[in-house]
Structure formats: structure tokens, C-alpha cells
Structure 1
Amino acid sequence: MENLTVSKLCVKLNTLHYIRDQLDELETSIKQSWVATKTMDHQIYGGFTEESTSSEFVDELFTVFDDIRTNAIEASDVILDFIGSRAIFWDTRHTFLFSLYRGGVKSARLDTFLPELDGVLDRICGLIIDELRDQVVLSVCKASMVGYSWVMLDGGPSRAFSHTEVELMHEDLNMLKDLFEANGQGIPHEVVNKEAKEAEEILELYSMKAEAIIDKLINSSKQLSQLNDCKKPGNRCANDADTLLRVLCHMKDEYASEFLRVRYQLRKSSDYEEANGHGKEPTSKSPLLTDISKGNSSSGWTETGQRSFRIMKKKFHEAASEFRQSAW
């Protein structure tokens, strides 16, 4: 990773852009010289010269130029896709991914991370040429929004969110968006909003009651075959089963915890055990949870949904094991 630092990647992008610019200038110069040469030959020899060999040579040279240009563009696209991931998921992983909201939203807000991210953006803007600045900053913006969603859905057992904390999380997300908009000097407002859409939708789920999330989860299990877009790599839908289940796993909610215990035999959070009298069953239980615990078919849980979520359960157990081994 030493050769793939953000600074070196910026230099590589600048170099590739310079190559493309120089290639365009060279191609234009050759075309102009070629036209001038043909005009002179026509005036001297009266148009009776053989031009086929020379024309083939020039065409072949331009084909090489096109190949170089295509390779430079493809390499630039790869670097642009990677540079944001490098900045967020590697360089700032400790202060952002590993620390944000760990142990509680109020004690680990986003504002403690923003100065470091602001410093990363300053270094990028100081290195990258103006023509590429917005593209590189947008790459960091995309990775930041993905990272924020990751914290909310895959943050591990040290993250749990309550309804009262959603407003604070909205404030944090708005701060992150404002950083990239830079008072109108950065990425356009509509572009930032587009990149933040997924995070906004996930926050809306956390503002809902657990019973409503469970209903959506059961309904989504019946429509797994219809969620083709959500199955594509890199895609996530706020209402797909995978997202809804992860939201329930990170909710500070009695019914969410009880549902996960009944349906997936997941151990209840110690927070809820203390709230309910050191592991005692809650005195009241929703009709939905009662139906599920009895295996009542009225819960509408299809066999396809059960099979899918058994796979999810296995993945969650594997993830939990990894967290414990790495002292998450």
C-alpha cells in the first residue's frame, strides 16, 4: 500500500492527464503538418505523387495514439474509483470507521473526524490539477457516504442506535454533506444529495418503530425474487431484507432484540437484559412476536424467506466471531 498513497495516486492522475493532453497536441500538430505537406506536394508535383504509403503510416500512428489514450482513460478511471476508498477505508479508518458512534452516538460524534477528512481534502486539492479536482473529491465523497452507511449497518456490537439518537445522526450526515459542498465551492448540492441518498434512507429506517421494521422485513422476504436491482454487486436497497435485518440488529429496542432472539436465536443485548430484569422475558409481547414464537403461519413467513435468512444468520454469526477475535 506504500506505493498507493493518496498523494502518489494524485500524481499518477496528473501524469495520465498530462499524457492525454500532450497526445492531443501531438496528434493535432501531425495532422496540420500532414495537410501542409500534401498541399505543398500538390503544388509542386501537380497531384501525381503516391500518397497511399504515407497515409497508411499516419493512420497507423493515429491508431497507436487512440490505444494510448484509451489506456490512459481506463487507468484514470481505476485510480479515481480507488482513491476515495484508500482515503476513507484505509487512511482514516481508525478515526472514522472504527471510532464513529462506538460506545454511543453522543460520545463519538462525526465532528471529531471531520478535521482529519478536511485535511485529506486540502492535501488532495493542493496536489491535483484543477481539471481533476472535482472528480477526485467526488470519489472521496462517495466513499465517505458508503463508510457512513457501513457504520450504521455493519458497525458491529459496539454500535447500537435508538430513536432519540437519529436526530443527532442526521445532523452528522448534514455536516458531512456540507463539507463536500464547501459553501458552493465544492461538489454541487444535488450531486452530494444523490450520494447521500442511501444513508438518508437508512436513517429513516432507524427512526421507525421496530414493529414496523419487522413487518417490512417479513414482506420483503416474500419479494426476494423481485429485488433484482438490490442483488447487483455494490447495490443496497433500504427496503431489502438484508438491510432491514441489519437495522434490527443495531437498534436499541426491546422488540427488535426479542424478535432476533425468537427468530434467529441471537443472544439478547445486555442493555435489554438489564432493562427487563436481568434476562427475564418482557411482560408484554407484540402479537407479531407471539405468532412467530408459536410458529403461527399467520406471520406470513415464506419458506424462501426462512431459507434466505438462515443464510443471513450464519453470516452474522461469522461476522460476530471475527469481531470477537479482532477485539472490535
Structure 2
Amino acid sequence: MQEWSEKRLLDYHGCHEKGFSGNATEGMEVLLSLALAAGKIVADWEGAAVEGNFAGDRVDCYIRCSMKSAFTNILENGLDDVDSVIVDRDHDPGVMLMQLARDTEQLAIFERRNFSPVLRRWHPAPVAVAAVTLHGCFGVVLRQYLAKVNILTEELVRVLHSASRLEKALAQMTAEDAADCDDGRAKAVVGDMEPYEVETVVMGLLKTWMDDKLMLGRDCILRAKDTESWIPKSKAEPFAGSAMELMKLARATVDEFAEIPASAKDEVVQDLVDGLETIFQDYISFVASCGSKQSYLPPLPPLTRCNQDSGFFRLWKRAALPSCQAPEGSPRGGGSHHIPRPSISRGTQRLYVRLNTLHYVLTHVQSLDQSLATSSSSRFDRARAAAQSAVSAVAEVAAHRLIFLDSRHSFYQGLYAGSVADARIRPALRLLKQNLSFLVSVLADRAQPVAVREVMRASFEAFLMVLLAGGNERSFARADHATVDEDFGSLKRAFCTCGEGLVPRTWSRARPRTAEAVIDLMARSTEYLIDAFGVATCESIGAGVGAGGGGDDDDNDYRDTPVPPTTRQWHPATRTRSSGCCATATTRPPTSS
């Protein structure tokens, strides 16, 4: 009798779901009374000690076993349905899990409505036991499914949302049932519900996905550092191939992240931005690692007090003539018939590719920023600032290489060498215009203004170095002022006409002021230069006294006056000191009267 009754109670859903006359619970109370009475008689007959609530423990066992059996039947029926249509379409297990979650919730509701009122006579919290059991059964299937996935897809998110809804429904049933019961066992049943931790699972998958995507970006940079040759793919794409690969990866990552329908992604979006920004900054640093302009500046000539017409100077120049001869094709020795050819070297062209690459990266970073930015803030601020700084640095290096290396024969080494009248700036200007035309043709539109402005800045610097630190092969007289001023005017016009809007008029007027002030000194008399030098010296002495806190001996102040430094920061005071002291070989000292 005990075996017969318990066999039916251990799967009372299967035996009593339809019941008699359509009543699902008809006969359940009689069957439970019979099974519990028979079990008590058997236990007493066998002499087994019965501890605690015998009836409650047996009903707890009936509920758990029957719920597990009913859940297994639902799971097997769902698998059969999937197998029956697998020929027609490829069903993902996620579809079955979402249906299983809905069926499990319906099973719990059916249990609470039909069987729990009967079972409550012997158990204080039958609904809580049934809900906790179903929660554990579904959790086993869910964890098996999650163990096989390693990427957060839209279907996986729907599965996790279904599991979350089921968990909330079962937890509410359990809490309501335990609240109506004063028995401590009901409270213990609530503690048996182990959470699915859906948000934790989503967060873990999100971070794993992000780590994989960021690793692809880092690998791309490592390959670029080993293989990038700075040769553009085509004229239509004048930037490095590694930049295109990196930006495609970044765009794909951002697009995939935007398609993830998970609320948890709002918590990790900043982690994604920080990771991408670190990769962008690393790549920008790699692109900008092309040296500095100091590598292309010529060394300053040695200081001398020799007059250009002295016998020692003529003897030194005669001895050094073989090594100082201008190379073949150099504009020295007369520039009126010299026809220059484009002089942009491969190295300079690669610098232009770097410049295009930085603007390409900057443009795409701004686009990604718009995709991820909120209404109140923007992303990738540090990457944009790093790219803009790198653009200026690379443009400066490229300009100094173009002027001081590629164009050195016609500009710094050739301009005014030997004679101002015979080595004017016209050949250098023809070459400069050709180089500017080439520059504009190979650079992207957004990269052209900064590149042209840096070339203009480097050209003015080279012109000043010719005047102030041009070496022993140059000498200037007061009568050369008009020629030099005319040449400098031609140099300014070359940049104003090289392209519409590349060099703003306000910028082109402000930048040459230093050079114009230095050139203006050439028209001044020796007396003016001596007076100006005296003023500059007094100002220097005053600055030294102020810095040293004063002193009792004025002679010490004069003896401690430093020699004007050669800082390459040319300005009229530099020219005044050079002319007044006769300390550099770039300016002919005034003749004695």
C-alpha cells in the first residue's frame, strides 16, 4: 500500500494532472492520507525512530520529486519539438531555453493554484518548495548552456532576460509563501534559492568580448611597428595601410557594441572607450616617432673677428677652397640660368604619409566619438588631443627636412653664397613652388594648411640663418638691404599664392615680422647699430644685476656680462649684437673711419 501510494505521489503531476472528472487534485488528499498513514505504520513496525515532522518531510520529498519529474517532461518535450523541425531550420538552443523558461513559470503557477492548497495541510510552505525546486532545475540547464557560449549575442541576451524574469517570478512566489508562514523551515527554503546572477554573467561576457576586441587592436599595432613602410596604398588612399586596418577594427567593435541589447553595457562603455583610446594613443605615438627638427638644422658656424678683406681670411679661404666648392648642379656661382628640379626625397614623402595617416586617424576617432558620445559628454578627448599635437610635430619635422635637407643646395647653402647679387633667391623660389605643388598634391585636404604653414615657418628660419649664421662664405653690406628685402618679399608672396586659404593673410603678415625687423637693420648706419648694441648691453647688465640682487662693485657687473648666446631664436637684438661686436662671420664688420 505504501509503495503504491508513494509511487503516485512522487510524480503526482503525471498521475493527477487530469485527475478524475477533469479535476486535477481529485483524490490527492485521500492518497496523501493513505501514504502518510501507511508510512507511519511501517516505520513503527520496523522500529525506526521518527524524528521531527514525519508528514512534513515526506510531503517535502513528494513536492521536490514531482516538480523535478514535471520539469524533465517539459524539457524532453521541448527537445522533441526542436528535433522535429531541425531539418527545416537551424534552431539555436536559446530558442528552447526561452520556451522552457515560459513553461516553467506556467508550471509553478499551476502548482500554486491546484496542488499547493491540498499540500499545505501537511507542509507549511509548499509553494516555496516547488518554486525553489523549479528554480534549481532551470539553473542546471541554464549553466550548461552558458558553459558552451563565449560571446554575447542578441539571442543570448534574450535567454538571460527570460531567465531573469523566471527567477523574479519564482522568487516572488517563494517570498509570499514564506511570509504567510511562521515555521522556520519556510525561511530556510528561501535560502536554498541560488541566484542565476544574470547581470554578472552578462558583465563577464561583455568584458571577455571587449578584451578580445582590444587584443586585436594591440596585435594590429604590433604588426604595424614591424612591417609599416609608410607607402600609401593608392592616390585615393594616401595613408598607411595599418591605419585603415586599425580603424576598421575600431569601427567594427563600436558597431557591435552598439548592437548588444544589454543594459549592463552602459556600465562598461567607459572601459571600452579607455581601451580604444589607449590603443589610439599608442598608434599615434608610433606614427609621430619620426625624430625632431633639430636633426635637420645645420650647425652654427664658428665665431671669428676676422675682416672679410684680411690676409688671414683670404689665406684660410684659399686653403679650404677644394672642400668648400659647391657640388655639381648647385645654384652657387650664379642663379640666373639654374633650372631646379623637384627635390622632395623619399624620406620627406614618407613624412607626408605619416601626416595623412594622423589626419585619417583623427577623422575616424571623431566619428567614433559621435557614435559613443552622450548628450552631455564626449569621448576620446585625449586621443584627439594627442593626434592634433602629433600633426603639428610631424608637419614641423617634414618642413625642416624639406627646407634644410632636400632644398639645402638652393636655399641655405646656396642663397647669397659668395655674392648677394650673384646668388639671389629666384632659383630657390622656383624649387620651393614646385615642392609646394607636390606637397599639396600628395597631402589630404585637412593636412595641407598645417604643412604649408610649417614650410613657411622653416623657410623664414632658413632665411634668417642665412643672414645671421650663414658662415664665412657670406658677407653683407649696407647696400645689400634693398636686394635682401626684395628677395624676402618674393619669399612671402610664394606662400600667399600657393593655395587658396592655406596660409591666412593675418598669419602670413604676423610671422615674417621678426625677419623683417632683422632685415631692417641692414639699412641702418654703423652708429645706429653701435647705439642699439649699447642699449641691449645695458639691458643685459640690468637683468644680471636684478637677478643677482645687486652689488657694491659696478666693475664686477660689467665683467660678468655674458656673451650673447646663440639660441637660434633670431630677433633684431641678435642682429644688433652680431653687427656691433663684429663677433660673427656672417656680417661684415663696419670699416674704421
Q: Same fold (TM over 0.5)?
A: yes
Return the alpha-carbon distance in structure 1 between the equivalents of residues 444 and 508 of structure 2: 21
CA contact (8 A) 2:352 2:443 kept: yes
Q: How far is 1:140 from its partner?
A: 0.3
Task: Check 1:226–1:72 CA distance in 2 against 1; reply closer, same or farther (3 A cut).
Answer: farther
User: Which residue does the alignment assign to 1:279?
Assistant: none
Question: Which has the bigger relative contact order, CA under 8 A and spacing at least 6?
Answer: 1
CA contact (8 A) 1:80 1:135 kept: yes
Return the alpha-carbon distance in structure 1 between the equivalents of residues 543 and 591 of structure 2: 26
Q: 2:363 aligns with which of 12, 21, 40?
A: 21
Return the alpha-carbon distance in structure 2 between the equivalents of residues 30 and 8 of structure 1: 33
Segments of structure 2 that go 5 or more residues without pairing to the other structure are: 1-228, 231-289, 291-346, 545-563
Letter in 2 for 1:127: V
The answer to whether the aligner puts 1:133 opposite 2:448 as a matched pair is yes
CA contact (8 A) 1:6 1:124 kept: no
Q: How far is 1:201 from its partner?
A: 0.9
User: Which residue does the alignment assign to 1:187?
Assistant: 503
Q: How far is 1:257 from its partner?
A: 4.7
Residues 21-60 of structure 1: matches in 2 within 5 Å? 21-31=363-373
SS in 1 for 2:476: coil
Task: Check 1:108–1:227 CA distance in 2 against 1; reply closer, same or farther (3 A cut).
Answer: farther
Return the alpha-carbon distance in structure 2 between the equivalents of residues 232 and 163 of structure 1: 23
Letter in 1 for 2:577: L
| Equivalent residue pairs, number | 225
The answer to whether the aligner puts 1:244 opposite 2:559 as a matched pair is no
User: Which residue does the alignment assign to 2:393?
Assistant: 78
Task: Check 1:70–1:233 CA distance in 2 against 1; reply closer, same or farther (3 A cut).
Answer: farther
Letter in 2 for 1:124: L
**Structure label with greater radius of gyration:** 2
TM-score of the aligned structures, taking structure 1 as reference length:
0.61
User: Which residue does the alignment assign to 1:10?
Assistant: 352
The answer to whether the aligner puts 1:172 opposite 2:487 as a matched pair is yes
Residues 118-267 of structure 1: matches in 2 within 5 Å? 118-182=433-497, 185=500, 186-224=502-540, 235-238=569-572, 240=573, 242-248=574-580, 249=582, 250-252=586-588, 256-258=590-592
CA contact (8 A) 2:515 2:571 kept: no
Q: Kindly report the root-mean-square deviation, in angstroms, between the aligned alpha carbons of the 2 structures.
A: 2.9
Return the alpha-carbon distance in structure 2 between the equivalents of residues 153 and 226 of structure 1: 26
Letter in 2 for 1:6: T
Task: Check 1:84–1:130 CA distance in 2 against 1; reply closer, same or farther (3 A cut).
Answer: same
User: Which residue does the alignment assign to 1:306?
Assistant: none
Return the alpha-carbon distance in structure 2 between the equivalents of residues 194 and 207 of structure 1: 21
Task: Check 1:184–1:8 CA distance in 2 against 1; reply closer, same or farther (3 A cut).
Answer: closer
Q: How far is 1:119 from its partner?
A: 1.5
CA contact (8 A) 2:579 2:587 kept: yes
Deviation string for 1:10-36 (max 9, x for gaps)? 21111111112112222322348xx9x
Return the alpha-carbon distance in structure 1 between the equivalents of residues 470 and 543 of structure 2: 25
Return the alpha-carbon distance in structure 2 between the equivalents of residues 226 and 74 of structure 1: 38
TM-score of the aligned structures, taking structure 2 as reference length:
0.35
Letter in 2 for 1:24: Q
Q: How far is 1:225 from its partner?
A: 5.5
Q: How far is 1:157 from its partner?
A: 1.6
* Farther off after superposition, 243-252 or 105-114: 243-252
SS in 2 for 1:113: helix
Task: Check 1:97–1:66 CA distance in 2 against 1; reply closer, same or farther (3 A cut).
Answer: same
Return the alpha-carbon distance in structure 2 between the equivalents of residues 145 and 226 of structure 1: 31
Task: Check 1:246–1:9 CA distance in 2 against 1; reply closer, same or farther (3 A cut).
Answer: same
Return the alpha-carbon distance in structure 2 between the equivalents of residues 192 and 227 of structure 1: 33
Q: How far is 1:170 from its partner?
A: 0.9
Q: How far is 1:142 from its partner?
A: 0.4
User: Which residue does the alignment assign to 2:323?
Assistant: none
SS in 2 for 1:96: coil
CA contact (8 A) 2:416 2:474 kept: yes
CA contact (8 A) 1:100 1:110 kept: yes
The answer to whether the aligner puts 1:102 opposite 2:417 as a matched pair is yes
Q: What fraction of aligned residue pairs are identical, expressed as a percent?
A: 25
Deviation string for 1:53-106 (max 9, x for gaps)? xxxxxx9xx76x334333322221211221211111111112110110011111
CA contact (8 A) 2:480 2:522 kept: no
CA contact (8 A) 1:206 1:247 kept: no
Q: How far is 1:226 from its partner?
A: 6.3
Q: How far is 1:234 from its partner?
A: 5.5
CA contact (8 A) 1:153 1:247 kept: no
SS in 2 for 1:18: helix
Q: How far is 1:165 from its partner?
A: 1.5
Return the alpha-carbon distance in structure 2 between the equivalents of residues 141 and 160 of structure 1: 25
CA contact (8 A) 2:392 2:450 kept: no
Task: Check 1:213–1:75 CA distance in 2 against 1; reply closer, same or farther (3 A cut).
Answer: same
Return the alpha-carbon distance in structure 2 between the equivalents of residues 8 and 183 of structure 1: 22
CA contact (8 A) 1:154 1:246 kept: no
SS in 1 for 2:473: coil
SS in 2 for 1:99: coil
The list of structure 1 runs, each at least 4 consecutive aligned residues, that deviate by more than 6 angstroms after superposition, is none
Return the alpha-carbon distance in structure 2 between the equivalents of residues 149 and 227 of structure 1: 26
Letter in 2 for 1:214: I
Segments of structure 1 that go 5 or more residues without pairing to the other structure are: 36-58, 259-284, 286-328
* Farther off after superposition, 212-221 or 104-113: 212-221
Task: Check 1:247–1:118 CA distance in 2 against 1; reply closer, same or farther (3 A cut).
Answer: farther
SS in 2 for 1:223: helix
SS in 1 for 2:410: coil
Task: Check 1:11–1:184 CA distance in 2 against 1; reply closer, same or farther (3 A cut).
Answer: closer
Return the alpha-carbon distance in structure 1 between the equivalents of residues 579 and 472 of structure 2: 12
Letter in 2 for 1:107: D
Deviation string for 1:249-294 (max 9, x for gaps)? 44446xx255xxxxxxxxxxxxxxxxxxxxxxxxxx4xxxxxxxxx
CA contact (8 A) 2:412 2:466 kept: yes
Return the alpha-carbon distance in structure 1 between the equivalents of residues 397 and 457 of structure 2: 11
Return the alpha-carbon distance in structure 2 between the equivalents of residues 183 and 173 of structure 1: 16
* Farther off after superposition, 191-200 or 142-151: 191-200
